[in-house]
Chain A
Amino acid sequence: MIRFVLRRILTAIPIGLIVTLGVFALVFAMPGDPLRELAGDKPIPAAVLAAKRAQFHLDDPFIVQYLLSMKDILTGNFGTTFAGADIRDQLALRIPVTLKLTLLANAFQWTLGLFFGIYAGFKRNGLIDKSLLLATLVLLAVPGLVAYFAAQYVFGVELKWFPVSGVLEGFPKSYLLPALVIGVLGFAGLARLMRTSIVETVNADFVKTARAKGLGEQRVLWRHILPNALLPIVTFVGIDLAGMFGGAIITESIFNLPGLGQFMFQAIKLKEGGVVVLLSTLAFISFILINLLVDLLYGVLDPRVRNV
């Protein structure tokens, strides 16, 4: 087990290097001069441009720029953005925002998804089950953009139940609406998945065998049905958590949440390779950790899969 974890971490290192190098190369290859975006509308004198270029090593060759960025990341010396923001401050400000949003959205998604999914799974073809299937189908078909804009307009602007945007009213009030929308959209998937999984498992041979052996219903439920039914769910969580960061660009922009997604989007617009690489590194580390957890959980839940 420990060897497995160590091996995964060791293999992660070269992948991390490829990811950061790739991302840096992509941003580097983007056309346009990063400093011009900064300059705003007025032309900037050549000397000012040159000074800025030197400060951010923009005239160095690609690989040197990359290595300098990596050095800054590894030594924790993040420096400032082109616009002069202290990156460490920015992270301290933004990571909690993204975490709060993600966790709250997941809380909604899980509560709704597991509850309805399990309920519908056991009462298959009942009224709840039928309406759930229909509702989730509709939810899955609604493009996220429509849902975000509509929710902001109806619940924020018209009904004034929630703040329209921003994080001014703090946690949880400012995060409720975006988290609810993400949660409800995500719940559709989770509930369907859970339901199918329960149906499959309840009918599986090993459950029948367990019942035939005369095991109690509770024991069958907790020891046989749920662990097996949760298997596909675990995969889903991995993908879901890893994807949250990317999806947050649109959510954060519409609801004006100053999280990592907006930071990333801004950095891409400004072609700030260093910041993009830093954020990608963070995303990568969390991705690796989540995947490691998923794989370990898989091993715990499914005796057929052993991490040797």
Chain B
Amino acid sequence: MSELQAVVGAEAQELGDGRTLSNRELLRALLRKPQFVACSLLLLLFFTMAAVPKLFTSVDPRFCELTRSRQGRSAGHPFGFDIQGCDYFANVVHGARPSVLVSICASFGVFVLAGSLGLLAGYFPGFVDGLISRTADVLFSVPGIVVLIVILNSVPNRSIWIIVGVILLIGWPGGMRLMRATVFSVRNREYVLAARSIGVPPVRILRKHVFPNAMAPLLAMTTLGIGGMVGLEAALTFLGVGLQPPSISWGSQFGVAAAYRDTPHLFIWPALFISTMTISFMIIGDSIRDALDPKLLR
């Protein structure tokens, strides 16, 4: 996960030199891209599914008849049945909520946390940087997945929020380091040096000059990283520390189905939904990055 953030973050690192777009300009630029519009609509669909699953299916996902376990599709059951003999379409639709919540909340949280800490660390070398960077080192130098497994094994009840919290805990150092590196190069840029030399107070420099330039890559990075969170949720189920029933989520559907390869429909549907959502987020992230890239502005 942090690897993906790293790629995307660093990829977007050199963005926004010197000039930034207003929100309105950004939106206009984005809406000109058909792939952005298409993916936004897809995401909107997923979000609606997460918010109001009943719009998509009237079948109770918890009504299960074990005798229909793993049956293929039939009238009224377009995705067939899952291992428990519950309607799989209803389950996949209802599975959107935890998956969307985990990925969005964790990503947003990491964005805020990594962004603000990275900004501070990058701009104030010395004590502040030392404190933040060393803390990051501590968290970073333990493989994140180890911390995940240990903590999730210890908590009495693995809820969405605990999973989000643990992802936040191990997720921020990656983003912070990249943000710090970005700020590092931005703070030595001519316009920052100029602002500093004429006595502009640090808070204002951070707000007006450093943050806008450093925010762009982080935004793109966050959008691009969201998909990985859904994959991570599936990996947690594989490792035995995922969401517990009766929660229904794509990750756990996928993690459970990975062991039943002889019933491909169990595997394909959540994998398809996870991948579609991930790709949508990535294309959107890509579009934002392109739109923010001053060298591409014509």
Contact A141–B154 (Cβ < 8 Å) = no
Q: How far is the CA of A64 from the CA of B2 in the complex (A)?
A: 35
B172 contacts the other chain (Cβ, under 8 Å)? Answer: no
Contact B141–A242 (Cβ < 8 Å) = yes
Contact B150–A27 (Cβ < 8 Å) = yes
B271 contacts the other chain (Cβ, under 8 Å)? Answer: yes
Tell me which residues across on chain B come within 8 A of A225, comparing CB atoms.
none
A96 contacts the other chain (Cβ, under 8 Å)? Answer: no
Q: How far is the CA of A180 from the CA of B151 in the complex (A)?
A: 31
Contact B227–A192 (Cβ < 8 Å) = no
Distance from B24 Cβ to chain A, minimum over Cβ atoms (Å): 26
Contact A203–B150 (Cβ < 8 Å) = no
A3 contacts the other chain (Cβ, under 8 Å)? Answer: no
B247 contacts the other chain (Cβ, under 8 Å)? Answer: no
Q: Which of B57-65, B72-80, B181-189, B202-210 lines the interface with chain A?
A: B181-189
Q: Which of A14-22, A41-49, A69-77 lines the interface with chain B?
A: A14-22
Contact B145–A149 (Cβ < 8 Å) = no
Q: How far is the CA of A249 from the CA of B6 in the complex (A)?
A: 20
The interface centre, meaning the residue of B134, B137, B224 with most chain A CB atoms within 10 A of its CB, is B137
Contact A141–B7 (Cβ < 8 Å) = no
Tell me which residues across on chain B come within 8 A of A243, comparing CB atoms.
2-3, 143-144
The interface centre, meaning the residue of B8, B10, B13 with most chain A CB atoms within 10 A of its CB, is B10
**Chain A interface main SS type:** helix
B106 contacts the other chain (Cβ, under 8 Å)? Answer: no
Contact B7–A190 (Cβ < 8 Å) = yes
A174 contacts the other chain (Cβ, under 8 Å)? Answer: no
The interface centre, meaning the residue of A146, A235, A239, A242 with most chain B CB atoms within 10 A of its CB, is A239
B118 contacts the other chain (Cβ, under 8 Å)? Answer: no
Tell me which residues across on chain B come within 8 A of A276, comparing CB atoms.
146, 150
Tell me which residues across on chain B come within 8 A of A233, comparing CB atoms.
10
Q: How many A-B residue pairs have CB under 8 A?
A: 166
Question: What interface size band does chain B fall in?
Answer: 35 or more
Contact B275–A250 (Cβ < 8 Å) = no
Q: How far is the CA of A266 from the CA of B78 in the complex (A)?
A: 41
Contact A235–B188 (Cβ < 8 Å) = no
Task: Determine which of A15, A145, A190 lies in contact with B235 in the assembled complex, contact meaning CB atoms within 8 Å.
Answer: A145
Contact A141–B188 (Cβ < 8 Å) = no
Contact A283–B142 (Cβ < 8 Å) = yes
Interface residues of B in 4-22 (CB under 8 A from A): 4, 6-8, 10-14
Q: How far is the CA of A240 from the CA of B7 in the complex (A)?
A: 9
Contact B134–A247 (Cβ < 8 Å) = no
Tell me which residues across on chain A come within 8 A of B238, comparing CB atoms.
145, 250
Contact A232–B10 (Cβ < 8 Å) = yes
Task: Determine which of A141, A203, A232, A236 lies in contact with B278 in the assembled complex, contact meaning CB atoms within 8 Å.
Answer: A141
Contact A232–B13 (Cβ < 8 Å) = yes
Tell me which residues across on chain A come within 8 A of B239, comparing CB atoms.
249-250, 265
Tell me which residues across on chain B come within 8 A of A236, comparing CB atoms.
6-7, 10
Distance from A169 Cβ to chain B, minimum over Cβ atoms (Å): 24
Q: Which of A51-59, A80-88, A193-201, A215-223 lines the interface with chain B?
A: A193-201
User: A192-B11, A287-B140 known; A145 and B258 CB under 8 Å?
Assistant: yes
A30 contacts the other chain (Cβ, under 8 Å)? Answer: yes
Distance from B218 Cβ to chain A, minimum over Cβ atoms (Å): 14
Interface residues of B in 40-97 (CB under 8 A from A): none
B29 contacts the other chain (Cβ, under 8 Å)? Answer: no
Distance from B51 Cβ to chain A, minimum over Cβ atoms (Å): 23
Contact A15–B134 (Cβ < 8 Å) = yes
Contact A141–B11 (Cβ < 8 Å) = no
Q: How far is the CA of A203 from the CA of B18 in the complex (A)?
A: 14
A11 contacts the other chain (Cβ, under 8 Å)? Answer: yes
B283 contacts the other chain (Cβ, under 8 Å)? Answer: yes
A128 contacts the other chain (Cβ, under 8 Å)? Answer: no
Contact B145–A246 (Cβ < 8 Å) = yes
11 contacts between A and B (CB under 8 A): A140-B228, A141-B275, A143-B271, A153-B261, A193-B7, A197-B11, A235-B6, A247-B143, A247-B145, A268-B149, A287-B140
User: Interface of A with B (CB < 8 Å)?
Assistant: 11-12, 15, 18-19, 22-23, 26-27, 29-31, 137-138, 140-146, 149, 153, 186, 188-190, 192-193, 196-197, 199-200, 203, 232-233, 235-236, 239-240, 242-243, 245-247, 249-250, 264-265, 268, 276, 280, 283-284, 287-288, 291, 302, 304-305
User: Interface of B with A (CB < 8 Å)?
Assistant: 2-4, 6-8, 10-14, 130, 134, 137-138, 140-147, 149-151, 153-154, 174, 177-178, 181, 184-185, 188, 224, 227-228, 230-231, 234-235, 238-239, 254-255, 258, 261, 271, 274-275, 278-279, 282-283, 286, 295
7 additional contacts (CB under 8 A) given A144-B231, A232-B10, A247-B145: A26-B150, A137-B286, A145-B231, A189-B6, A239-B2, A288-B141, A305-B184
